[in-house]
Structure 1
Amino acid sequence: MTISGVTVKHYAYCPHIVRLEALGFSERVSEAMLEGQLIDKEKEVSFLFTKYKEIIRKPVYRWKDLIGSPDFVLHAYNYYTPLDVKAGKVPRLDHKYQILFYSYIMDRLGMNVKEAMLYYIAGKKLIRLQYSETEKRFVEKLIGWIREAMNSEVKIVQKKEKCENCGFFSYCKPRRVGKLYYTL
């Protein structure tokens, strides 16, 4: 089964989502998702473009069963930097995992990646993430955890707000106990 950048993002949000996707369920489209599609990402990050030799827009990279498509890849003279643009204000773990996953695929394809970037439009904040052997090994472990979650039931405990805002909530049907939800 293919692992995409969205799969990685979903796993970081809740590992049970990748199991539901493996079973054929799809996320409901939210207003926030639709709003995010209307953003002119290129306009928002154009201030970065002058520092690079080449800007690659929405490339699709494949390596074995992994696929990723960052919003942009910034090409300096001897290295590449994936850049994802997010509508929010603050950095989130699922976004960091996703951009490091793109870095990993690019690295496996022989592209020299030193860093990855996230830009948060609402917060006007640029985050730079180092990409080294440490991050590469972490992404390899992450891919293993995702494969495991795809192929078996995963017990999850989440905060009430997180579950109720999830696009897979209606499929998951977790059990609520106080301010937490449980699967299995």
Structure 2
Amino acid sequence: MITGVTVKHYLFCPAIVRIEELGFRERVTEAMQEGSEVDKEKVVNFLFPMLKAKEIIKKPIYKYKDLVGSPDFVLKFSYHYSPLDVKNTDRVGMDHKAQVLYYAYLMEKSGLVVKEGMLYYTSGKFIRLPYTDNERRYIERLIVKIREAREGRIKVIQPVRKCVNCGFFQYCRPKRVGKFYEV
């Protein structure tokens, strides 16, 4: 199964996808624990009046073939739906954006009309991401690359500083080459 977390992990480092495919799991860090303890209900209650959604659906699960995803919330508007993910960080990352667009893709494959994805950061940042043909094609290409990575058909080169803080470092055992690690 490819999940929203798989998408996020792939964008951090494609080697993680292969490591997970082999059955290894990430060590849980203090920051990850804090992120799971965020009161997401409070956040969505704060955002609800501002967004003018008709309904909020909490943690729905969407499936399509070997793809599955569960955004924190789905907002139902008059003529479309939008996934909303809450992040407990102030760092806006491409991995977060791709994750919420992946949820939009799954929702669309489930027959829903999706016009945008949304990210709310507990630091107060709110981001709306349009969901168009370009984003759909991006997610489809990303899914193909993730499948290749799961099969081990990748070569990864990462900066040392990125690898040493990775929760999969102990399983990956990359080879150091100067200021980089190679997998």
Match of 2:151 in 1: 151
Structure 2: how far apart are the matches of 1:66 and 1:99?
A: 14
Q: Which moved more, 1:31-40 or 1:152-161?
A: 152-161
When normalised by structure 2's length, the TM-score is 0.96
Q: Deviations over 1:120-173 (max 9, x none)?
A: 112x10011000111111111110000011012421111112111111000000
Structure 2: how far apart are the matches of 1:23 and 1:61?
A: 24
Runs of 4+ in 1 over 6 A off after TM superposition: none
SS of 1:3's partner is coil
Match of 1:132 in 2: 132
Mapping of residues 41-80 of structure 1, within 5 Å: 41-50=40-49, 51-80=52-81
**2:158 aligned with 1:162, yes or no?**
no
Alpha-carbon shift at residue 37 of structure 1 (Å): 1.1
**2:9 aligned with 1:10, yes or no?**
yes
Q: Which amino acid in structure 1 is aligned with residue 155 of structure 2? A: K
When normalised by structure 1's length, the TM-score is 0.95
Structure 2: how far apart are the matches of 1:80 and 1:71?
A: 13
Q: Could you tell me whether the CA contact under 8 Å between 1:104 and 1:139 is conserved in 2?
A: yes
Alpha-carbon shift at residue 64 of structure 1 (Å): 1.1
Structure 2: how far apart are the matches of 1:128 and 1:4?
A: 21
**2:33 aligned with 1:31, yes or no?**
no
Match of 1:177 in 2: 177
Q: Which amino acid in structure 1 is aligned with residue 61 of structure 2? A: V
Alpha-carbon shift at residue 177 of structure 1 (Å): 2.6
Mapping of residues 112-123 of structure 1, within 5 Å: 112-122=113-123
Question: What stretches of structure 2 of length at least 5 have no aligned partner?
Answer: none
Structure 2: how far apart are the matches of 1:19 and 1:170?
A: 14
Structure 2: how far apart are the matches of 1:136 and 1:21?
A: 25
Question: What stretches of structure 1 of length at least 5 have no aligned partner?
Answer: none
Alpha-carbon shift at residue 117 of structure 1 (Å): 0.5
Structure 2: how far apart are the matches of 1:43 and 1:181?
A: 41
Q: Which amino acid in structure 1 is aligned with residue 101 of structure 2? A: L
SS of 2:166's partner is coil
Once superposed, what is the RMSD of the aligned Cα atoms?
Answer: 1.0
% same residue: 57
Q: Could you tell me whether the CA contact under 8 Å between 1:73 and 1:82 is conserved in 2?
A: yes
